[in-house]
């Protein structure tokens, strides 16, 4: 009697963790360990993303004001977890006020923007991929934040993937990094394949582009502005201190060659992961806080240090981590 082999899944955030540190990947995706307490920055991004999801409903009519949704879900989390000490950090206490003021400013900027017709929101995709060298199969999965039609592009049906991102940096300086961004590459490749298959995109036209909708974590500047958007001093002169914009939409494009390069890279990573799962390759760490500061924000930092020095890391594992399903529907959402 033959036993069916479960086909593994792969998504962008798993690939990024694997490329950064195979040991962290193994703990997260093979042992399925997740911190019991999420970092404040990730919690904030998740709430902003939820507000965007409920705001950009399919069609031209928008949903609830993002600030209203943010505050409602923020208060719900406080009520559920506050007594457990989960929200005792100063950063999270400020997040409620920051999120509301930031998203009210977002409403002022985009609340009446009817350029975009939302075709779909939160689109999960799942594409079967076969490694031509080994025959290994896996599903490439993800969730597209939105599929938007540009109503100002004329008769041509210009359809864009929209992706909402929170950032602490200047969003206008992201363009250079997005040229080789793995999320854009994989979504353009496999996400586009799926949407064509589902009839959401015309196969002859394909995607017009992918748009990163950046929201910078910062307080709105209340100073008056001139017609060019420059902030002014009290005497009406242009201030020398101009903040980075709170909101920025960065278009990203890929060619057929870009898509093929991305596909090859994804398949090579999936192959290496398979070899590590089956003990054909050893799982290793890539530590180095001084020159590669990824260890500082790694979910497994404390356990890894104990593991490295031969201490009782198993006790830390039991105390700090819970099991999770990385590919449950609600967990597929990419790095918010």
Structure confidence by residue, pLDDT tens digits, 18-42 = 999 999 999 999 999 998 876 666 6
Handedness of CA 231, 233, 237, 239 (dihedral sign): negative
Q: Is 161 exposed, middle or buried (0-12, 13-18, 19+ CB in 10 A)?
A: buried
Amino acid 250: pLDDT: 96
Q: Where are the beta strands (DSSP E) in the chain?
A: 9-10, 33-35, 116-130, 137-150, 159-167, 209-216, 247-252, 321-323
**Confidence label for 333 from pLDDT (cuts 50, 70 and 90):** very low
210, HSE (Cβ side, Cα atoms, 13 Å): 24
Three-class SS state of 130: strand
How far apart CA 143 and CA 161 sit, in angstroms, is 11
| Distance of alpha carbon 68 from alpha carbon 52, whole angstroms | 11
Q: Tell me: the pLDDT tens digits for 98-139?
A: 999 999 999 999 999 999 999 999 999 999 999 999 999 999
Place of tokens 């709430």: 47
Report the range out of 24-28, 227-231, 235-239 with the highest average pLDDT: 24-28
Rounded to two decimals, the pTM is 0.86
Burial level of 171, CB count in 10 A (0-12/13-18/19+)? buried
Q: Which tokens belong to 81?
A: 């977890």
Asked whether residue 331 carries a pLDDT value surpassing 70, the answer given is: no
> Residue 149 in contact with residue 117, Cβ under 8 Å?
yes
Task: Give a three-class secondary structure readout of 151-195.
Answer: CCCCCCCCEEEEEEEEECCCHHHCHHHHCCCHHHHHHHHHHHHHH
Whether the CB-CB separation of 159 and 149 falls below 8 Å is answered with yes
- The CA distances from residue 316 to 255, 301, 304, 306, in Å, are 46, 11, 10, 8
Tell me the C-alpha distance between 139 and 254, whole Å.
Answer: 22
Other residues' Cβ atoms within 10 Å of the Cβ of residue 315? 11
- Say how far apart CA 86 and CA 254 lie, in whole Å: 41
Contacting residues for 9 by C-beta, under 8 A, at least 6 apart: 126, 138, 139, 140, 141, 327
Q: If pLDDT is split at 50, 70 and 90, which confidence band does 294 have?
A: confident
Q: How many CB atoms lie within 10 A of CB 101?
A: 16
- Report helix, strand or coil for 145: strand
Percent of the chain with pLDDT over 90: 65
The pLDDT of residue 81 is: 63
Residue written as tokens 């958007």? 229
pLDDT value at 89 more than 50: yes
What pLDDT shows up at residue 82? Answer: 60
Domain boundaries, the chain: 9-331
Burial of 103 (0-12, 13-18, 19+ CB in 10 A): buried
**Neighbour count for residue 229 (Cβ, 10 Å):** 8
Residue 182 above 60 pLDDT? yes
CATH-assigned architecture of domain 9-331 = Alpha-Beta Complex (3.90)
């Amino acid at each position: 009697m033959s036993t069916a082999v479960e086909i593994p899944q792969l998504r962008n955030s798993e690939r990024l963790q694997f490329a950064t540190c195979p040991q962290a990947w193994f703990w997260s995706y093979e042992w399925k360990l997740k911190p019991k307490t999420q970092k404040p920055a990730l919690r904030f991004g998740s709430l902003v993303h939820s507000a965007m999801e409920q705001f950009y409903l399919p069609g031209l009519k928008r949903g609830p004001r993002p600030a209203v949704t943010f505050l409602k879900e923020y208060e719900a989390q406080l009520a559920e977890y506050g007594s457990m000490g989960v929200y005792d950090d100063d950063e999270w206490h400020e997040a409620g006020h920051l999120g509301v003021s930031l998203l009210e400013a977002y409403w002022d900027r985009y609340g009446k923007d009817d350029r975009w017709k939302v075709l779909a929101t939160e689109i999960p995709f799942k594409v079967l991929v076969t490694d031509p060298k080994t025959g290994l199969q896996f599903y490439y999965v993800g969730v597209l934040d939105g599929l938007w039609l540009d109503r100002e592009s004329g008769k041509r049906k210009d359809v864009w993937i929209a992706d909402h991102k929170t950032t602490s940096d200047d969003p206008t300086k992201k363009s250079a990094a997005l040229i080789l961004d793995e999320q854009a590459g994989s979504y353009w490749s496999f996400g586009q394949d799926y949407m064509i298959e589902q009839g959401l995109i015309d196969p002859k036209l394909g995607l017009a582009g992918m748009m990163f909708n950046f929201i910078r974590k910062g307080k709105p500047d209340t100073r008056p502005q001139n017609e060019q958007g420059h902030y002014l001093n009290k005497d009406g002169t242009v201030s020398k201190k101009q903040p980075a914009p709170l909101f920025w939409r960065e278009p990203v494009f890929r060619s057929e060659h870009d898509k093929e390069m991305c596909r090859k890279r994804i398949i090579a990573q999936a192959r290496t992961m398979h070899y590590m799962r089956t003990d054909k390759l050893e799982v290793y760490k890539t530590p180095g806080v001084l020159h590669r500061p990824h260890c500082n924000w790694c979910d497994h930092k404390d356990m890894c240090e104990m593991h490295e020095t031969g201490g009782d890391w198993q006790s830390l594992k039991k105390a700090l981590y819970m099991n999770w399903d990385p590919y449950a529907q609600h967990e597929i959402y990419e790095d918010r």
